[in-house]
Structure 1
Amino acid sequence: MVYIAAAGWTNWSGSVVATPATLLRPTSEGELARAIAAADKVRVAGAGHSFMPLCDTAGLLISLDDMPGELTISADRTRATASAGWSLKRLTAALWDEGLSLPNQGDVNPQSLAGSIATGTHGTGRTLGSLSTLVRSFRLILADGSIVAASPAENPELFEAQRLSLGLFGVAVEIEFDVIPAFHLEERIEKRRFDEIAECFDDLAAGHRHVEFWWFPHADSVILKTLDLVDPCDPPRQRSDMSEKGFRRMCDIGAAVPMLVPYLQRSAMKAPMRGRRKGPAHVIFPSDRTVRFEEMEYELPEANGMAALKEVVGWIRKKRLPVSFPFEYRTVAGDDIWLSPMNAGPCASISMHQYAKMPWRGMFAEAEAVLRAHGGRPHWAKRHTLTRDDVDALYPLAERFRAVRRAHDPGGKFLNAHLAELFA
Structure 2
Amino acid sequence: MKLSHIACIFVALLGAIVWQIVHVVVEFEYSSYSSPHSATALSRWNQLTTATTNGVAPTFCNFDGNVCCRTSTEVQFPKSIEEVQEVVRDAVMRGSRVRVSGAGHSMSSVVCDPTPRGDSVNGGAPPLTILSLDRMQRVLDVHRLAMNDTASLLSSPLDVTTAYVTVEAGLRLIELNRALRYLGLGLKNMGLIQEQSVAGLMATGVHGTGNRLPSIPSIVHSMDVVLANGSLVTWSRDSNPEMFRYARLHLGLFGVVVRATLEVTDLYDLQRHNAVTTLEQVLKHMHEHQRTFRHYQFWWVAGTKYALVNAMDMVEVPVIADGGDIPLMCHVFRQHLPVMRAAQSVGLRPCKFHVDLDAVDSSSIVSPPPQPPKVLTPLRKALSAFKTDLTFDIAVRLSNMFPSVGPLILQLLPYLEPESEDLVGWGPDILTFPGINFHAVRYTELEYFVPMKYATTAVRWFVSFAEEHRVDCPINSIDPIRTVRGDNVPLSPLYGWYGDNDNDGDNGGGIALSFVLVQRDDIFTQCASIVEAAMLKMEGRPHWGKRHPLVRTYEDVVALFGADVVDRYRAAVLDADPHGVFQTEELRVLFGLMTTTSH
**TM-score, with length taken from structure 1:** 0.93
Aligned residues: 418
The residue number in structure 1 matching 2:581 is 413
Pick from 278, 281, 301 the counterpart of residue 216 of structure 1.
Answer: 301
Contact 1:241 1:287 in 2 (8 A): no
Deviates further, 286-295 or 138-147? 286-295
1:340 CA displacement? 1.0
Name the SS of the counterpart of 1:299 in structure 2.
strand
Q: Does 1:294 align with 2:350?
A: no
The residue number in structure 2 matching 1:402 is 570
Aligned pairs for 1:341-380 within 5 A: 341-345=493-497, 346-357=509-520, 359-380=523-544
Higher-Rg member (1/2): 2
Partner AA of 1:375 in structure 2: E
1:403 CA displacement? 0.9
In structure 2, stretches of 5+ residues that fail to align are 1-53, 114-121, 123-127, 146-159, 319-329, 336-386, 498-508, 594-599
Q: 1:416 to 1:265 in 2, by over 3 A?
A: same
Q: Does 1:63 align with 2:119?
A: no
Q: 1:5 to 1:270 in 2, by over 3 A?
A: closer
1:80 CA displacement? 1.5
Question: Which whole-Å CA distance do the structure 2 matches of 1:262 and 1:176 have between them?
Answer: 43
Q: 1:251 to 1:150 in 2, by over 3 A?
A: closer
Question: Which whole-Å CA distance do the structure 1 matches of 2:399 and 2:143 have between them?
Answer: 48
Pick from 456, 469, 492 the counterpart of residue 306 of structure 1.
Answer: 456
Q: Percent identity?
A: 29
1:99 CA displacement? 1.1
1:14 CA displacement? 2.2
Pick from 109, 116, 126 the counterpart of residue 194 of structure 2.
Answer: 109
Question: Which whole-Å CA distance do the structure 2 matches of 1:415 and 1:241 have between them?
Answer: 44
1:377 CA displacement? 0.5
Pick from 465, 468, 474 the counterpart of residue 318 of structure 1.
Answer: 468
Q: 1:327 to 1:239 in 2, by over 3 A?
A: closer
Contact 2:297 2:482 in 1 (8 A): yes
Deviates further, 361-370 or 272-281? 272-281
The residue number in structure 2 matching 1:46 is 102
1:26 CA displacement? 0.4
Contact 1:124 1:212 in 2 (8 A): yes
Q: 1:34 to 1:366 in 2, by over 3 A?
A: same
Question: Which whole-Å CA distance do the structure 2 matches of 1:145 and 1:324 have between them?
Answer: 47
1:251 CA displacement? 4.2
Cα deviation code 1:348-405 (max 9, x no counterpart): 1111111134532211011100111111001111110312101012122111111111
Partner AA of 1:276 in structure 2: D
Higher-helix-fraction structure: 2
Partner AA of 1:37 in structure 2: R
In structure 1, stretches of 5+ residues that fail to align are none
Question: Which whole-Å CA distance do the structure 1 matches of 2:429 and 2:169 have between them?
Answer: 21
Question: Which whole-Å CA distance do the structure 2 matches of 1:398 and 1:201 have between them?
Answer: 33
Name the SS of the counterpart of 1:27 in structure 2.
coil
Question: Which whole-Å CA distance do the structure 2 matches of 1:264 and 1:284 have between them?
Answer: 24
Name the SS of the counterpart of 1:352 in structure 2.
strand
Name the SS of the counterpart of 2:415 in structure 1.
coil
Deviates further, 163-172 or 260-269? 260-269
The residue number in structure 2 matching 1:165 is 250
1:284 CA displacement? 2.2
Pick from 310, 313, 330 the counterpart of residue 482 of structure 2.
Answer: 330
Name the SS of the counterpart of 1:270 in structure 2.
helix
CA RMSD, 1 decimal:
2.1
Contact 1:235 1:280 in 2 (8 A): no
1:153 CA displacement? 1.9
Contact 2:403 2:519 in 1 (8 A): no
Partner AA of 2:86 in structure 1: R
Partner AA of 1:352 in structure 2: F
Name the SS of the counterpart of 1:71 in structure 2.
strand
Higher-strand-fraction structure: 1
Partner AA of 2:63 in structure 1: W
The residue number in structure 2 matching 1:94 is 179
Q: Does 1:30 align with 2:96?
A: no
Pick from 411, 414, 418 the counterpart of residue 269 of structure 1.
Answer: 414
